Structure 1
Amino acid sequence: MNNLSIPNNYWDTSLYEDKHAFVWQYGEDLLKFLNPQPGESILDLGCGTGQLTEKIAQAGAQVMGVDHASTMIEKARQNYPHIRFDVADATNFQVDKPLDAVFSNAVLHWVKEADSAIASIHQSLKPGGRFVAEFGSKGNVEAIVTALSSALEAFNISAQTLNPWYFPSIGEYATLLEQQGFDVIYAILFPRPTPLAEGEAGMANWIQMFASSFLAELSGEQHTQVIHAVEEQLKPTLYQQGTWTADYRRIRIVAIKP
């Protein structure tokens, strides 16, 4: 369930599953905070291709996955036909019955309308229900964004207007949660340098998967030039021993609806 600047909500699910499995592999650690129990009703908000939704189901919970990208939902349904997956929007989704928990991994930094998303999450939970999430924090991929901004200046393009992400501080996001009625019981910000697959092509693949909106106004040739410029700028710091590393910083949040 992502508010994405990708045409027609198109995600390349093969590239996602093949080259970017770290998205859900790192998310498995977040499941410890969710601690799903048999019989609980849980929503996986922004489920992608469904790997973590399946993990929640394996705990015995009644889980449903939703995502804004129809290509992701189609792939999730193929992967796990025994689980319900629906297309929905984080800012205005509805549930049939109040939930025990909402879980969200690597999604909410795509949702700039944070107030609307938090309101939707709050209204979907039972009293005592919990919200467990991890997403990009203030400073996430800052080196990559800085390099993209510098490369785009050559074409008189402002990266700021094309940036699809919302990377809040802990204080900012916890305050938004409290304003909507949540009790924030756990919040941490931590660096998580993330190795990218595919050796020398790792950064180019990452940009094409997650940062394509920055390149939306470019021709194919300009697209290649910008990626090359970004690689040249970042190589001294983010490319070592044949592997690119993305400069991730993450927020992890647990909040309760009183």
Structure 2
Amino acid sequence: MNTDRWNASLYDEKHSFVSRYGGDIVDLLDPQQGECILDLGCGTGDLAYQLYKKGANVIGVDKSENMVMEAKKKYPERSFLVGDVTELSYHEEFDAVFSNATLHWIKTPEKALQRIAQSLKPGGRFVAEFGGKGNVQTITNEIKHQCYLHHVTCTDEEFPWYYPSIG
């Protein structure tokens, strides 16, 4: 069973820095008036709203129903959908795909990238920010150490992240 454990109110209260830091990625994307943009992992909608304010037509998609419900509450005039990046069914519909602090949660990156590429119009842009190799290594090492000390089985598969190297 896949339970939605994201608490949207807590996220906005304690982790709003994620969206604030994402402003630089919005600038890198350089959305143009009238472009269709897909915001993957839109969370509570703050960056999708920034894209909209720059003139883009934005659809926000997030796997968490809790996050999407909060986004719809905050920005009712915008389009937000519950969906999994690995199951997107769009075909050449977007001028750009944008993602901030999301793709490191996807453990099947090849499938995600295939779906993203399929979503883009020919010549479309993909701009993303996500954690890279070693991002939370100190934390995961300590969790593994504590599991070992307390005789608890702990495997890499139990961690929800994928942090690739540049290669």
TM-score tier (shorter): over 0.9
Query: How far apart in 2 are the matches of 1:97 and 1:170?
Result: 27
Instruction: Give the alignment's TM-score, normalised by structure 2.
Output: 0.95
- Which residue does 1:80 correspond to in 2? 75
- Which residue does 2:48 correspond to in 1? 53
After superposition, where does 1:10-25 map in structure 2 within 5 Å?
10-25=5-20
Gaps of 5+ in 1: 1-5, 172-258
1:133 maps to 2:128: yes
- Runs (4 or more) in structure 1 with deviation over 2 Å come to none
Question: SS of the residue aligned with 1:9?
Answer: coil
- Which is higher, the Rg of structure 1 or of structure 2? 1
Of 120, 141, 154, 1:158 maps to 154
Gaps of 5+ in 2: none
Of 164, 167, 183, 2:163 maps to 167
Name the aligned partner's letter for residue 122 of structure 1. A
Query: How far apart in 2 are the matches of 1:66 and 1:151?
Result: 36
The answer to whether the Cα contact below 8 Å between 1:10 and 1:70 also exists between their aligned partners in 2 is no
Query: How far apart in 2 are the matches of 1:22 and 1:15?
Result: 12
Question: SS of the residue aligned with 2:85?
Answer: coil
Structure 1 window deviating more from structure 2 (124-133 vs 140-149): it is 140-149
Of 119, 122, 129, 2:117 maps to 122
Instruction: Give the alignment's TM-score, normalised by structure 1.
Output: 0.62
Aligned positions, number:
166
Name the aligned partner's letter for residue 121 of structure 1. I
The answer to whether the Cα contact below 8 Å between 1:148 and 1:159 also exists between their aligned partners in 2 is no
For the aligned residue pairs, the C-alpha RMSD in angstroms reads 1.4
Structure 1 residues 122 and 96: alpha-carbon distance in aligned structure 2, compared to 1, 3 A threshold: closer
Structure 1 residues 155 and 20: alpha-carbon distance in aligned structure 2, compared to 1, 3 A threshold: farther
The answer to whether the Cα contact below 8 Å between 1:105 and 1:135 also exists between their aligned partners in 2 is yes
1:112 maps to 2:107: yes
**Post-superposition shift, 1:159?**
4.2
Question: SS of the residue aligned with 2:127?
Answer: strand
Name the aligned partner's letter for residue 90 of structure 1. V
**Identical counterparts, % of pairs:** 48
Structure 1 residues 84 and 66: alpha-carbon distance in aligned structure 2, compared to 1, 3 A threshold: same
Question: SS of the residue aligned with 1:66?
Answer: strand
- Which residue does 1:66 correspond to in 2? 61
Query: How far apart in 2 are the matches of 1:25 and 1:122?
Result: 26
Name the aligned partner's letter for residue 144 of structure 2. S
Query: How far apart in 2 are the matches of 1:75 and 1:157?
Result: 36
Query: How far apart in 2 are the matches of 1:64 and 1:73?
Result: 11
